[in-house]
Amino acid sequence: MRKEAKEASVVRKEEEYLPSEVLGREVIIEFFLPADHLPGNPLSLLLINDGQDMEKMHFQQILEKLYCGHAIEPLLFAAIHAGVDRKMEYGTQAEPDYKDRGARAPLYTSFIFDELLPFIRYKFGIPSFREKAFAGFSLGGLSALDIVWNRPGEFTKVGVFSASLWWRSLDQEDEHYDDDVHRIMHQQIRNGQYAPWLKFFLQCGQLDELKDRNQNGIIDSIDDTLDLIKELEAKGYSRDQDIYYLELEDGHHDVFTWGRAMPEFLKWGWGKTSL
């Protein structure tokens, strides 16, 4: 009995091992792009932190479904695997947190701009991208937001999934701790410059965690995200036009939840119906 031929994939996956002088380690990057893409043809680029989670998320299958449904425009995805120093390389580049975590975040930012982006341009023969965006999960989400906010001329969008927006300069157990003063990313936005072209996708799950430091009945991750949105609005961003907030009632702080949210993020950012 003759077997039917397996349908060809519409997504091509490539893996590279990029030696980084800046980080002093080899960085694994998984690239996902349309299978029929021709070298030199322009594409939009989405960088993704914690790229080691893509397989568990079934990211390629997510893309296959979106492309086959003509739901999103073609993109080049660069999923950057985190190293063993993840808690030091991710964070906020302007300052580490109160435990000195994120102290290597400036080096990670240098890796992105001085090593990774030139490598991607060379590898795929794309001198410039239609647009660039950055996304990440948990601490990787904080890192993506920090990099985009501090280099707005390079990006148009950021995807923030269950981000570590609690990142603070003073221990919350300290008697002088104040949400309005010591959350680092919130302060960066408050003191930063308005870049009218930037768009923000923020996702949280109601089961992200159990902590509720101010005892208001709302878990900290949601509180921190909503407060960040308030800072963005105060800076001049429109909740309707510039900010998309997705709160999943049954969402946890895990790869499965972020995988469920990923199609909505991609359709929000690059959906064909919105073009």
CATH number, domain with residue 193: 3.40.50.1820
| pLDDT score at 88 | 98
Model confidence pLDDT, tens digit, residues 96-105 = 999 999 999 9
Q: How far apart are CA 223 and CA 18, in angstroms?
A: 38
Q: Within the chain, which residues score under 70 in pLDDT? A: 1-7, 273-275
Domain contains 95: yes
What is the tally of structural domains in the chain?
1
**Would you say 27 and 83 are in contact if contact means Cβ atoms under 8 Å apart?**
yes
Domain contains 2: no
Model confidence pLDDT, tens digit, residues 67-80 = 999 999 999 999 99
Compute the C-alpha angle 210/214/218, nearest 5°.
50
**Would you say 60 and 145 are in contact if contact means Cβ atoms under 8 Å apart?**
no
Number of neighbours of residue 248 by Cβ within 10 angstroms: 18
- Domain with 33, as residue range(s), is 11-274
| pLDDT score at 40 | 78
Residue 171 half-sphere exposure toward CB, CA atoms < 13 A:
5
Residue pointed to by tokens 């469920």: 260
Q: How far apart are CA 50 and CA 134, in angstroms?
A: 12
Domain contains 6: no
Q: What is the pTM (predicted TM-score) of this model? A: 0.94
